[in-house]
Structure 1
Amino acid sequence: MLRASVDTIVRVTGGELVFGDLESFATDLTLDSRTATPGCVFVALPGEHVDGHDFLRQALEGGARVLVVTRDRDELASALTIALQRGASVVRVPDAVAAVQGLATWHRSRLLCPVIGVTGSTGKTTTKDFIEAVLSTSLRVVSTQGNKNNELGVPLTVLRAGSNTDVLVVEMGMRGLGQIAHLCEVARPTMGLVTNVGTSHVEILGTQDAIATAKGELVRAIPGDGAVFLNGDDQFTGILSALAAARVTRYGLTEACEVRAESIVLAPDSRASFSLVTVQG
């Protein structure tokens, strides 16, 4: 969970203090005034249909200690009067989404836990859920909620992790070249898994090769002492493997995979069972 001074919030968001106490601290962050808690940061996201600036009063009533806004002071006079009365701080930033990402990047730099990044054309959310289910049997895991895997979902996931988190699992979506690379700058994964390279979003990138390049941004981001897991049955695995600085482990169904499933049985109730085979036996 985020814990930052107002001074830090101003610095990492590239903002300016409208008024408030630079030495005061805020904990947690929300984009929804309905979930504002005492001492939190409320970031007012401007939107085409719903604008967070219209809900500053509600966030303050929920206990928000810091308001992050993009509008000019004159446009927020009523809400700012209440903020001043309540002793809240107000920070104006040039870009609200970038502010959330900046806070998450700063928060990630303070986390000591390993971070697993998951991407792929299909199966990202299911794979992320399986990883969480397995690891949660013995570890404290924070993972992406649902399929919130975009430029806001990833930083919000990072901000939910704390000093007591053992593993952070982050799903990463893609709508164009460079997006996964940008999400990796925020989450800084130490391990990465690519489910496959399919044709989802081919209408955006044009070719399956370009999709592989985009998915490969996660592979490139994993440090040399990390680990990369690739679908050994996917035709693009060789290309992705060549991008890795870290050790690559292939998983799948064929004997070429270091980790593979054998003797797969699908029960009448749709539950699957199989034997997990590794290079160790």
Structure 2
Amino acid sequence: MIDLTLAQIADIVGGELADISAADAAGTRVTGTVEFDSRAVTPGGLFIALPGARSDGHDFAAAAVEKGAAAVLAARPVGVPAIVVQPSSEAGTDTAASVLEHDSDGSGAAVLAALAKLAAAVAAELVAGGLTIVAITGSSGKTSTKDLVAAVLAPLGEVVAPPGSFNNELGTPWTVLRAGTATDFLVLEMSARHPGNIAALAAIAPPSVAVVLNVGTAHLGEFGSREAIAQTKAELPQAVSASGVVILNADDDAVAAMADQTAARVVRVSRSPGADVWAGPVTLDEVARPRFTLHAANTETEVSLAVHGDHQVSNALCAAAVALECGATPAQVAAALADAGPVSQHRMHVTTRDDGVTVIDDAYNANPDSMLAGLKSLAWMARQGREPRRSWAVLGEMAELGDDAISEHDRIGRLAVRLDVSRLIVVGTGRAMSAMHHGAVMEGSWGGEATMVADADLALELLRAELRQGDVVLVKASNAAGLGKLAEALVAS
């Protein structure tokens, strides 16, 4: 948490004081958290007033001060002590559009730009005091890897990491401002919807350790091509100085090529021999938790992961490489990974109910690569035991695929059939979901194995009527599809 006077903050962000004198601003310190939700404000904190589709944070400024906020960072005076920044054509309206639901007058962009300046100043001071910043990007797996990195660094010191997928122009500075002088490691995940987004985030919190996981087709509708996605992901290794280290997943050709785009030392990870950090033969237990031999630092260490899915091996290797670079031993890494279960909500949480039904809740995010990984995990779990178990894939829309949305949804429907998933429930009625259902039918799902329902409520009704003991259910979609509540209801049933 920051410890600055209002006068110092105003100077950093280029704001004007409102409803507070210069003398009082010089004597009033912000020592609490920085919040954009007035309900989360703590005494001595700073409230960030941002506009939204349904409400404007400026309207809650007084309530935030009543809860103990020292002041408000705002785009206009709000009748309580505030640092006011003026909207400007240079405030980054494209950035605001990617983060805020509503910003018609540029006020949100101005406040976000000020927040970035404040976070950058705090990060620079903390780095000078010994803070190590670790940044992670990739088309999929960022949040899971961030959670694993936080877990393997925890034995080495105090770690600050964002909750869930808090990884954009709001989430990154908000997380930076959670760090303090006692923080040893700041772990950030950095996402992008436009070229330049990752470079902007890295400018706020320049990492000394960067991780690039993969280049897939998430946000293909925004970027237009996988090559454009790769160029944007490469902004992270480009931001690391010669004294830093860049960890690359060498199993992805587009990521491996980034070794030539950084001045930093490169550490390669792979599932094959020859990399700096690599995994021996991988096996999965009955709920798809991987086991492998970690080869690193001229040692061989047995690793058993507590997370689910074969795709987690690459994530764990990257986390291991980060920890080793930060001073951990291979034995420490293995011990930490063994205890590092799923943390962030709706990401490969596996629960077996009292009636033997296993629910795989992976409902937060979905793209073609993560859909395939989820379906493979479902198929694996269903094959374990003396007798095969019935498998159910409850799938919602994959967002932001642009012109490829129809073909990619069709492909996932076909993959479900090829992986011998017993039942496919397609949730939604748009063209993309029709394509998923059509793909399953055309691939050979003739006997009603593939069903299309309008919404999550109808999917839940169908599942409750037809699930039987021992079935395995995968719930997966982009967060906008709202299948997280369906997964929670299934677990609670």
- TM-score calculated relative to the size of structure 2: 0.53
Other-structure match for 1:2:
2
The residue type paired with residue 178 of structure 1 is G
Once the two structures are superposed, what CA deviation does each residue of 1:92-133 show, in whole Å capped at 9, x if it has no partner? 112111121111111101113110000001110111111111
Q: Distance in 2 between matches of 1:6 and 1:257?
A: 50
SS of 1:263's partner is: coil
Q: Distance in 1 between matches of 2:135 and 2:253?
A: 21
From 108, 112, 118, the equivalent of 1:97 is 112
Other-structure match for 2:25:
22
> Is residue 63 of structure 2 the alignment partner of residue 61 of structure 1?
no
- The structure having more radius of gyration, on CA atoms, is 2
Other-structure match for 1:70:
75
SS of 2:122's partner is: helix
Other-structure match for 1:42:
47
Q: How many residues align?
A: 268
Is the 8 Å Cα contact of residues 253 and 260 (structure 1) preserved in structure 2?
A: yes
Q: Distance in 2 between matches of 1:176 and 1:264?
A: 36
Is the 8 Å Cα contact of residues 19 and 91 (structure 1) preserved in structure 2?
A: no
SS of 2:282's partner is: strand
Is the 8 Å Cα contact of residues 162 and 187 (structure 2) preserved in structure 1?
A: yes
Once the two structures are superposed, what CA deviation does each residue of 1:64-117 show, in whole Å capped at 9, x if it has no partner? 11112212x4xx4xxx2xx3xxxxx32111211112111111110111311000
Other-structure match for 1:200:
218
SS of 1:170's partner is: strand
The residue type paired with residue 22 of structure 1 is A
Q: Distance in 2 between matches of 1:238 and 1:138?
A: 29
From 217, 225, 230, the equivalent of 2:243 is 225
Q: CA deviation at 1:4?
A: 1.2
Q: Distance in 2 between matches of 1:100 and 1:2?
A: 12
Q: Distance in 1 between matches of 2:142 and 2:279?
A: 19
From 31, 40, 43, the equivalent of 2:36 is 31
From 182, 188, 196, the equivalent of 2:200 is 182
- Select the structure with the greater relative contact order (CA < 8 A; seq sep ≥ 6): 1
The residue type paired with residue 254 of structure 1 is S
> Is residue 246 of structure 2 the alignment partner of residue 236 of structure 1?
no
Unaligned runs of 5+ in 1: 84-88
Q: Distance in 2 between matches of 1:7 and 1:91?
A: 9
Once the two structures are superposed, what CA deviation does each residue of 1:228-266 show, in whole Å capped at 9, x if it has no partner? 000011011342110111110110112231110112110
Once the two structures are superposed, what CA deviation does each residue of 1:211-242 show, in whole Å capped at 9, x if it has no partner? 11100000000111110000011011342110
Other-structure match for 2:307:
none
Q: CA deviation at 1:278?
A: 2.2
SS of 1:236's partner is: helix
Q: Distance in 2 between matches of 1:137 and 1:267?
A: 26
The residue type paired with residue 30 of structure 1 is E
SS of 2:82's partner is: strand
Tell me which moved more, 176-185 or 39-48.
39-48
SS of 1:218's partner is: helix
Other-structure match for 1:113:
131
From 201, 209, 212, the equivalent of 1:191 is 209
Is the 8 Å Cα contact of residues 38 and 60 (structure 2) preserved in structure 1?
A: yes
SS of 1:198's partner is: coil
SS of 1:110's partner is: helix
Is the 8 Å Cα contact of residues 232 and 256 (structure 1) preserved in structure 2?
A: no
Unaligned runs of 5+ in 2: 87-109, 300-493
Q: CA deviation at 1:279?
A: 5.4
Is the 8 Å Cα contact of residues 241 and 248 (structure 1) preserved in structure 2?
A: yes
Q: Distance in 1 between matches of 2:162 and 2:138?
A: 15
Is the 8 Å Cα contact of residues 248 and 256 (structure 2) preserved in structure 1?
A: no
**Alignment CA distance shift 1:224-1:58 (3 Å):** same
Other-structure match for 1:86:
none
Q: Distance in 2 between matches of 1:126 and 1:139?
A: 20
Is the 8 Å Cα contact of residues 230 and 248 (structure 1) preserved in structure 2?
A: yes
Q: Distance in 1 between matches of 2:112 and 2:147?
A: 26
Is the 8 Å Cα contact of residues 42 and 64 (structure 1) preserved in structure 2?
A: yes
Among the aligned pairs, what percent are the same residue? 40
SS of 1:273's partner is: strand
Q: Distance in 2 between matches of 1:26 and 1:261?
A: 47
Is the 8 Å Cα contact of residues 230 and 255 (structure 2) preserved in structure 1?
A: no
Other-structure match for 1:125:
143
SS of 1:116's partner is: strand
Q: Distance in 2 between matches of 1:264 and 1:238?
A: 22
The residue type paired with residue 123 of structure 2 is R
Q: CA deviation at 1:47?
A: 2.0
Q: Which has the higher strand share?
A: 1
Q: CA deviation at 1:138?
A: 3.4
Q: CA deviation at 1:22?
A: 2.6
The residue type paired with residue 38 of structure 1 is P
SS of 1:211's partner is: helix
Once the two structures are superposed, what CA deviation does each residue of 1:146-183 show, in whole Å capped at 9, x if it has no partner? 10100000001100011111111000011010000000
- TM-score calculated relative to the size of structure 1: 0.92
